[in-house]
Amino acid sequence: MAEIIRTVGLKREFIVGDEVVRALRGLSFSIDSGEFVTIVGSSGSGKSTLLNILGCLDVPTAGEYYLDGVSVRNMGKNDRATLRNRKIGFIFQNYNLLPKTTSVENVELPLMYNRDVSASERRRRAIEALTAVGLEDRLMHKSNQLSGGQQQRVAIARALVNDPVIILADEATGNLDSKKSYEVLALFQKLHRAGKTILFVTHNPDLEQFSSRTITLRDGRIISDVRNDNIQSADEVLANWKEED
């Protein structure tokens, strides 16, 4: 399996006043193509800090980060932005969609930076990505006309449209009720079956049983990194769903 991500002794420190916050205290791990990894840990354990570095939104204070074989550490801001745009699909807790903008336009956005993609090709790929997340009947709805679960699926389509080497999701189910969370997990499992590499960050340990590996963070350190031989099916959970009130 090809290695997509490798970190060596990754550290991130923040200076706040005259205090040093050690958000990441030396993380070394690698992720292969086709893995579905959950990163779990309580609030403040360093999950978002790590994901922002892996997503090329931030740089480490020390240590190495290789994305698809390329060292990110000494890259300039512009090169990092290009790398992010070509190789990373990012999904956030609050969806980060443009308001009053249609699904299809939101999903087209990452392709606007790519001059090799024509307007018609852009539209075709946006529709394809929205169809993959089951929103083919919501193409022209504006984001404020969609439910939270639908907005998150638009955000997932936007993350897919560039065909990134890895999808990074930071608390992607954090604003959703449990049924909608399982729907998003079912979608991630479908993408995983289709060969996508996914890094799913959550503070909720109940959600780790749906991926093939769990990395647990505590106080900026990896305290365990285990394979899951008994992956649960989110589709099955949904099929047996009993509405409670």
Ligand X SMILES: Nc1ncnc2c1ncn2[C@@H]1O[C@H](COP(=O)(O)OP(=O)(O)O)[C@@H](O)[C@H]1O
Of the listed pieces 44-52, 74-82, 184-192, 205-213, which binds Mg ion according to CB under 5 A? 44-52
Nearer to ligand X, 110 or 220 (CB): 220
* 154-190: b (≥16 Cβ within 10 Å) or e: bbbbbbbbbebbbbbbbbbbbbbeeebbbbbbbbbbe
Closest contact distance (angstroms) between CB of 142 and Mg ion is: 28
Closest contact distance (angstroms) between CB of 201 and ligand X is: 7
Give the separation between CA 168 and CA 187, rounded to whole angstroms.
14
Binding partner of residue 21 among Mg ion, ligand X, none, CB cut-off 5 to 8 Å per kind: ligand X
Closest contact distance (angstroms) between CB of 206 and Mg ion is: 17
Closest contact distance (angstroms) between CB of 165 and ligand X is: 23
Edge to edge, the sheet with strand 88-91 lists: 88-91, 166-170, 198-202, 36-40, 213-218, 221-227
Nearer to Mg ion, 150 or 202 (CB): 202
Residues contributing to the site for ligand X (CB under 6 A)? 14, 16, 21, 23, 41, 43-49
- Residues in Cβ contact with 59 at an 8 Å cutoff, skipping those fewer than 6 apart: 53, 72, 73, 80
Question: At which residue do the structure tokens 């070509």 appear?
Answer: 86
202 binds Mg ion (CB under 5 A): no
Of the listed pieces 39-47, 67-75, 153-161, 205-213, which binds Mg ion according to CB under 5 A? 39-47
Nearer to ligand X, 45 or 103 (CB): 45
Candidates 7, 38, 45, 48: give the one binding Mg ion (CB under 5 A). 48
137 C-beta neighbours (distance < 10 Å), count: 9
Binding partner of residue 44 among ligand X, Mg ion, none, CB cut-off 5 to 8 Å per kind: ligand X
Among left, alpha and beta (phi > 0; psi -120 to 50; other), residue 223 is: alpha
Closest contact distance (angstroms) between CB of 121 and Mg ion is: 35
Binding partner of residue 113 among ligand X, Mg ion, none, CB cut-off 5 to 8 Å per kind: none
Beta-strand ranges (E) seen in the chain are 3-16, 19-32, 36-40, 62-67, 70-71, 88-91, 166-170, 198-202, 213-218, 221-227
Of the listed pieces 43-51, 69-77, 106-114, 224-232, which binds Mg ion according to CB under 5 A? 43-51
Closest contact distance (angstroms) between CB of 45 and Mg ion is: 9
The binding site for Mg ion (CB under 5 A) comprises 47-48
